[in-house]
Amino acid sequence: MKNIRTGHKIIQKEGYVEHAYINLEKLPSNPSLLHFFYVCEGTLESGSEYSFPHGNTQCFHLEFSEGGELYFSSRRKVRKIEKDSVYIEHPGREKKYYTFRNTGKNSIRRYALAIFPNSNFEPIFHLQQLDIVRNVNMEKLSSSIRSLIRRLKEKKECSPEEISINLFEILTFLTASNSTAENNSLSGTRKEKLSLVMTSPQSFPDLKSLLDFFKVSKETLYRIFRQYTGKSPMDFVITARLVNSCWMLLETQYPISEIAGISGYECVSFYSNAFKKLFGMSPSHCRKYGFAKEEARKILNTLTGTIYHLS
């Protein structure tokens, strides 16, 4: 598979400088990888303002800033993007106008990332369901974006696999941030909370994160999971991660070591043993011989079937 060629574009306005890296390849044809259209980093000086139009594209557009005030307006309304929040604009929406304003004493940065839609990844990241992700650790997210920019700047041409893994890390972090936000605001039913654990198991690294999310005692948490899933809380999370990893083995070209890490395993051999115990075959066998995806779905349905009968 040939490398991705990128172009470097510099935008300079009064008080504002932006470096954008644009994918020069044609629209992506490989559904097993995530592809970006552009990524940019802009710096706004103190007391300055920068306005620009955006919208009606084929991509998901992620927009956020480290400080300052960021607004977007359409024909219907003007909306401010809150502090520590990421706005996600969906493909094909009407054109909006963004305004980036710095009323502070120091220069601040704005970041934007455009990612092509990918139906194979939608079951993990649910971008169609996201609008604004709040309470984001901006330092960590900015670091991930800068890592992508640095890779594009230094290499000029990057392998699609490298870029896809970088984008996967960014979207995984956003998914986890969204789950944390829901953790602080969700007052819905146990069905909703169990469903969120099922769809975003990577957001719950340990028992404490589940206790904080459900806001119940340890004994009550175990009773909920045993009653509605037949598993202990962490057994449920681990199984959901392994099911997601099965999907990644079949639908992506990520190295098994990367998939193990995404699934919460620092040691590949531990991941392989857990995978084999659940699916009856090793990850490499699953990838090589095309283990039926329906089996993974069947296990996931069995794992979560009782959730959908909750009142």
44-83: per-residue pLDDT in tens? 999 998 888 776 678 898 988 887 777 766 656 667 777 7
Which residue's entry shows tokens 């935008």?
11
| Token pair for 269 | 């051999």
Residues of the chain short of pLDDT 50, as ranges, are 180-187, 304-311
Q: Return d(Cα 304, Cα 279) in angstroms, integer.
A: 17
Q: Which amino acid is at 20?
A: A
pLDDT of residue 179: 53
Cβ-Cβ contacts under 8 Å for 2 (sequence gap 6 or more):
none
pLDDT of residue 12: 93
Task: Provide the angle, in degrees to the nearest 10, between the axes of the packed helices 268-279 and 293-304.
Answer: 80
Name the CATH topology of 189-309: Arc Repressor Mutant, subunit A (1.10.10)
pLDDT of residue 1: 55
Cβ-Cβ contacts under 8 Å for 129 (sequence gap 6 or more):
none
Cβ-Cβ contacts under 8 Å for 245 (sequence gap 6 or more):
259, 260, 262, 263, 271, 275, 283
**May I ask the CATH class of domain 4-178?**
mainly beta
Which residue's entry shows tokens 């070209």?
253
Q: Return d(Cα 47, Cα 15) in angstroms, integer.
A: 8
Which residue's entry shows tokens 């909006």?
96
pLDDT of residue 277: 86
Closest to 206 measured CA to CA, from 197, 194, 193, 219: 197
Domain boundaries, the chain: 4-178, 189-309
CA torsion through residues 42, 46, 48, 53, sign:
positive
Q: Return d(Cα 151, Cα 156) in angstroms, integer.
A: 8
pLDDT of residue 187: 42
Q: How many other CB atoms are found less than 10 A from the CB of residue 53?
A: 9
Helix (H) or strand (E) holding 212: helix 207-214
Q: Return d(Cα 41, Cα 18) in angstroms, integer.
A: 6
Q: How many other CB atoms are found less than 10 A from the CB of residue 86?
A: 22
CA distances from 138 to 61, 69, 107 (A): 17, 15, 16
